[in-house]
Structure 1
Amino acid sequence: MTENLPFIDLAVIALYLIAMVLVGVYFSRRNKSADQFTKASGRIPGWAIGLSIYATFLSSNTFLGVPGKAFGGNWNAFVFSLSMPLAAWVAAKYFVPFYRSVGEVSAYTNLEKRFGAWARTYAVACFLLTQLARMGSIFFGISLTLQALTGYSMEMIMLVTGICIIIYTVMGGIEAVIWTEVVQGILKTLGAILIIGIIVADMPGGVSKIVEIGTNDNKFGLGSLSFDFTQATFWVVLLYGFFINLNNFGMDQNYVQRYHTASSAKEASKSVWLCVWIYVPASLMFFIIGTCLYAYYQVNPDLIQGVKLQAAAELLPSTASSSEISSLASALKPEDYGDKVMPHFMVTMIPTGLVGLIVSAILSAAMSTISSGMNASATVFAEDIYKRYFKPEMTDKQNMKLLYIGTTFFGLAGMVCGIAMIGVKSILDIWWQLSGIFAGGMLGLFLLGIISKKSGNTEALAATVIGLMVIIWMSLSYLIPEEFAYLKNPLHANMIIVVGTLSIFLTGSLIAKIRKG
């Protein structure tokens, strides 16, 4: 037992984790074939799939990273959510019917038919790297919160939560993933509403005071409207959001696999729109939480000192004196400790019992995305790597064993990535940067195959090589010595996926036009 979290809260969290494991046990009885494990035999209703996709979007990166960004800055990152309807329209009109018509459970099988085995393998590598980055950032985020609440080490927290996720995902397959995400989506939304209610109720002056402070300090801004692509302006985040959401709906196995679990293409398209109409206002709640916390601590500045001291202690060597820590803490800006504010508020201000419920909501945000990533990664590994290159003909029993092993492996690998991320400044920033790097080339190749009918293997290969060179340069040019500063990427990091995608698509289309007229 720890001193930070009362027994009743620990009991609520433990009961939640046990319940998720029991869900996996329940659905394990239905998983008699690989088709059931990966597609649920196409028997999931559209509304459940929509809530599942919403729960995958609304990860612990949103639950923890978004309030931290809003606390330290403004609502600029909300523009990401505003880009979703346009990406959803493209997905519902073109991507969903396409995947339903080809019938392949993997999102990447068609790339081999279109351009050759190399294209499929490249896209799979990008996807798996993206999933490891996503799972790692989420493991890190949830352990950061629970460490502040319980006092346990981040590594121990990742291990316990990871084992629970692995058990119910391995046993229950995609059906367990979807139905637990339905519950988790509802739970995390109620958790956000509860946090807002607690802050407002304890805030002198209530909502009007929060609005006053937020307005005076420009906490509601969506970013500059100038066409400056070197900063995180409104347009940079909008472009980033559109391309990353296009990748999510069109190329990400987490979402494509769900299209196959629906009873029809129409139900699958409905699920995409349901996700969007729930996610946009739900994500806004987390920006409201960040602004509420900012206003709350502006009115109660003495209460924030513990957060600043903790952030300063983590930035300094373990041998640093208390005076050195205090000196650095006084110099820190809100953006330097934003991710730590909500865990601190939960420890100090939320009543016993409710903390357990809110932690369960944050856990659900983490578990839904991680379990989805594990299942999708195992499916892609089985379909696009093992069965493609090593053993094409497999019995259903062998296939199931492979999926079980793959799911477990990617769960453990996600934990390792989470441990490697310990110490990063912003969960949301690190995830956005890594996803932009890995997703850019994958989306560009996919769009080339879908839109440019004249492009063949040669054009696609040339375009991908050029696009990869552009992505690598944009990602690593900060390492170039200052005397060659003119060779550095001048654009904001969020532009990597935009420029990388367009480089591949436009280069491939241009080469095809020149070669074939």
Structure 2
Amino acid sequence: MVTTASVTAARLSTPDLVLVAVYLAAITLFGLRFRKQDRSLKSYFLADQRIPWWAIALSIVAAETSTLTIISVPGLAYTGDWGFLQIVLGYLVGRVVVCLLFLPRYFRGELLTAYQVIGERFGARLHKVTAFLFLFLRAAAEGVRVFAVSIVVGIAIGTRDVVSIAIICALTLIYTLEGGMAAVIWTDAVQMILYVVGTLVGVAVLGKLVPGGWGHIHTAAAAAGKLTIFHFALNLTSTYTFWAGLIGGCFLTMASHGTDQLMVQRLLAAKNLRQSRIALLSSGLVILVQFVLFLAIGTGLYLFYSGVAHGSAPASADRVFPSFIVQQMPRGVAGLMVAAILAAAMSNLSAAVNSLSSSSIVDFYLQWKPDADEANRAKLSRIMTFFWALVLFVLAMMSRGGGHVVEVGLSIASVAYGALLGVFLLGTLSRSATQNGALVGMIGGFAANLLLWQQTHPIVLSLGAWHPVVPKIAWTWFVLIGSLLTFVLGWAASKLLPDTKHRITS
């Protein structure tokens, strides 16, 4: 029998730690291979649009799964069932909509960010507002991601959160500063393959540790209701229902993959529109398989800790899988899996820093100084990369708290996603929409999502004796509500606040 109590304080063995160190050094050197003498913005932020579709697909998967998925989705299955898989159905539908509605607009011209489309459609003012909202959204959500991987580092080598987060940010900067987007995508591809292999090993180890293997896990979990996927109740307060997953997941993906520079930048790095579409659609199939694997691990961990291991399981569900890796995986495999999780986090962080930097330069600096030469642009791009890495370090320190980190990250993202998606839909679907009207709609949609989000974070809007009373609506509906409200308010306001300069009449 395995005793949990006896291994609670366990850390990685010395050989495993060496393996982690070697892998991190290798992936950093690999990223540095993509350093180029050409320091143009297109080269640094879009890798000259020479990345093949399959590498972009793997990079999208790596960004979408990240450390939040690796450690938190198994925790959801550990404490609940497979209801999270309903959201993946919406992810697949949302990808189709992005391919049809947004990608053609992005490939019509020489674009570096998603928000240049808004500038072309509505004007410079709304261009800056949407870009600023992205900066706020991505920085806040990425702070949670960085903290998530500090959980793994702390369990693996025993460092405290502050040290863990500092290590992650410092190492990531090395190849992000030098390699740009090419380094981001190719390191994503390598680490994604690695952590999928590691996950399959985790599934195999669980099958050996639980008597009766996966046959028994399946039977026992089904009897306990742990394998339930679909919940058809039409309930806006329940996070994981079929309708919340299909509709809410679709709108969340439309926003994340159609309006978030983190994803759009990857899609713009493709050689052409066709390859960009293939990359996005194929990534959806890989995402589905990955979520199934992570949920299966969570179910297996539930049977392991409830029937095999003695003593108490880790206090937080987000720490269950990392603890299992360190305590139960064979020597060498544990180090490899921890290295893969760290590499996943570093790749995600590097992509976030790169996208935040690109938006800062293209959507703000170049609007102020359009005639700046390439040398100044390149120098400032590196400065902004360092600046955003520092910001994310601070935000990660502020993200420490309760709850599943994957839910916290997605709920934060959903606050701004609704307004962003609503404006993009308004500009795409309405010919009569104006810049002033879109701004009104955006403010209304963002305010509504902020009110919904403060249900679980009341300190945000608790002003004196005033505490807004908001229905307990699940975060999976935030983007749908915010985007529809933005669209409707923006359309109506456009009728009252005409702006003929940016109205499409033909």
TM-score, length of structure 2 as denominator length: 0.91
Structure 1: runs of 5+ lacking an equivalent = 312-336
CA distance in 1, matches of 2:37, 2:27: 17
CA distance in 2, matches of 1:498, 1:197: 39
Give, in angstroms, the shift of residue 453 of structure 1: 1.2
1:295 equivalenced with 2:277 (yes/no): no
Which of 301, 313, 318 is the aligned partner of 1:339?
A: 318
Change (3 A) 1:426 1:108: same
- The answer as to whether partners of 2:313 and 2:320 remain within 8 angstroms in 1 is no
In the alignment, what sits opposite 1:333? none
Residue in structure 2 matched with residue 437 of structure 1 by the alignment: 415
1:408-446, Cα deviation, whole Å (9 max, x unpaired): 111221121111112332201211210111211111111
- Cα gap change, 1:67 to 1:508, in 2 (>3 Å): same
- Relative to the length of structure 1, the TM-score reads 0.89
Deviations 1:93-127 (A, max 9, x none): 22222101132111101212322323222211221
Q: Say which of 131, 138, 147 aligns to 2:145.
A: 138
8 Å Cα contact 1:63/1:365 also seen in 2: no
Partner Cα distance (1:393, 1:115) in 2: 22
**1:9 offset after TM fit, Å?**
0.7
* Matched residue type, 2:117: N
SS of the aligned residue for 2:211 comes to coil
1-structure distance, mates of 2:335, 2:141: 25
Residue pairs, 1:1-40, within 5 angstroms: 4-40=11-47
Aligned counterpart, 1:121: 128
Aligned match of 2:58: 51
Match status 1:278 vs 2:292? no
Distance change (3 Å), C-alpha of 1:306 and 1:108: same
Aligned match of 2:398: 420
Does 2:478 align with 1:500? no
Query: Of the candidates 61, 68, 86, which is equivalent to residue 61 of structure 1?
Result: 68
The 3-state SS of whatever aligns with 2:51 is coil
User: Within the alignment, does 1:176 sit opposite 2:183 as a pair?
Assistant: yes
Q: Structure 2: 5+ residue runs without aligned partners?
A: 1-8, 499-504
Greater Cα offset, 52-61 or 116-125: 116-125
Aligned twin of 1:365: 344
**Partner AA of 1:122 in structure 2:** V
Q: In the alignment, what sits opposite 2:450? A: 472
Give distance in 1, aligned partners of 2:355 and 2:377. 15
Distance in 2 of aligned mates of 1:223 and 1:40: 41
Report the Cα distance in structure 2 between the residues aligned to 1:136 and 1:458, rounded to whole angstroms: 32
Deviates more, 1:133-142 or 1:266-275: 133-142
Q: Does 1:260 align with 2:242?
A: no
Question: Partner residue of 1:463?
Answer: 441
Give the secondary-structure state (helix, strand or coil) at the position aligned to 1:263. Answer: coil
Cα distance, 1:348 vs. partner?
1.9
Counterpart code for 2:348: T
Secondary structure of the equivalent of 2:34?
Answer: helix
Higher deviation after alignment, 275-284 or 375-384: 275-284
What does residue 246 of structure 1 align with? 254
**How far off is 1:30 after superposition?**
4.7
C-alpha deviations, 1:240-294, integer Å up to 9, x for none? 2111110122111122222332222111111111211111111211011101111
Q: Which residue of 2 aligns with 1:73?
A: 80
One-letter code of the match for 2:413? Answer: S
Q: SS of the residue aligned with 2:184?
A: helix
State the Cα distance separating 1:202 from its structure 2 match: 1.4
Q: Aligned partners of 1:30 and 1:53: how far apart in 2?
A: 26
Note the alpha carbon deviations across 1:49-92, whole angstroms, 9 max, x for none.
11111111110000001001110111111222111221111122
Conserved? CA contact 1:240–1:495, under 8 Å: yes
Would the aligned equivalents of 1:170 and 1:404 in 2 still touch at CA under 8 Å? yes
Q: CA deviation at 1:403?
A: 1.1
Residue number among 427, 452, 473 corresponding to 1:491 in the alignment? 473
What's 1:322 paired with? none
157-166 vs 507-516, which deviates more? 507-516
Sequence identity of aligned pairs in percent? Answer: 28
Among 92, 100, 120, which residue is 1:93 paired with?
A: 100
Alignment partner, residue 356 of structure 1: 335
- SS of residue paired to 1:101: coil
Equivalent residue for 2:365? 386
Q: Distance in 1 between matches of 2:399 and 2:454?
A: 18
- Contact 1:3–1:150 under 8 Å retained in 2: no
Alignment of 1:155-170 (within 5 A): 155-170=162-177
Instruction: Give yes or no for the alignment of 1:448 onto 2:448.
Output: no
Native 8 Å contact 1:339 1:427 kept in 2: yes
Call closer, same or farther: CA 1:489–1:269 in 2, change over 3 Å. Answer: same
User: Aligned with 1:102: secondary structure?
Assistant: coil
In the aligned structure 1, how far is the partner of 2:313 from the partner of 2:437? 57
Q: Describe the shift of the 1:485–1:228 C-alpha distance in structure 2 as closer, same or farther (beyond 3 A).
A: farther
CA RMSD of aligned residues (A): 2.2
Query: Following the alignment from structure 2 to structure 1, what is the Cα–Cα distance between the partners of residues 161 and 263?
Result: 29
Q: Residues 193 and 102 from structure 1, CA distance in 2 versus in 1: closer, same or farther, beyond 3 angstroms?
A: same
Q: Secondary structure at the match of 1:458?
A: helix
Report the AA paired with residue 372 of structure 1: A
Residue 389 (structure 2) pairs with residue 411 (structure 1): yes
Contact 2:10 2:327 in 1 (8 A): no
CA distance in 2, matches of 1:33, 1:509: 39
How big is the shift at 1:306? Answer: 5.1
The code of the aligned residue for 2:183 comes to A
CA deviation map 1:157-207 (0-9, x unaligned): 111121111111111000111111110111111111111111111110111
Paired with 2:255 and 2:76, the residues of 1 have a C-alpha distance of 23
Q: Does the 8 Å contact 1:470/1:500 carry over to 2?
A: yes
How many angstroms apart in 1 are the aligned matches of 2:264 and 2:190?
21
Corresponding residue of 1:327: none
Q: Secondary structure at the match of 2:431?
A: coil
Indicate if the aligned counterparts of 2:140 and 2:395 stay in contact, CA closer than 8 A: yes
Q: Is the 8 A contact 1:230 1:490 kept in 2?
A: yes
Whether the aligned pair in 2 keeps the contact of 1:30 and 1:36 (CA below 8 Å) is no
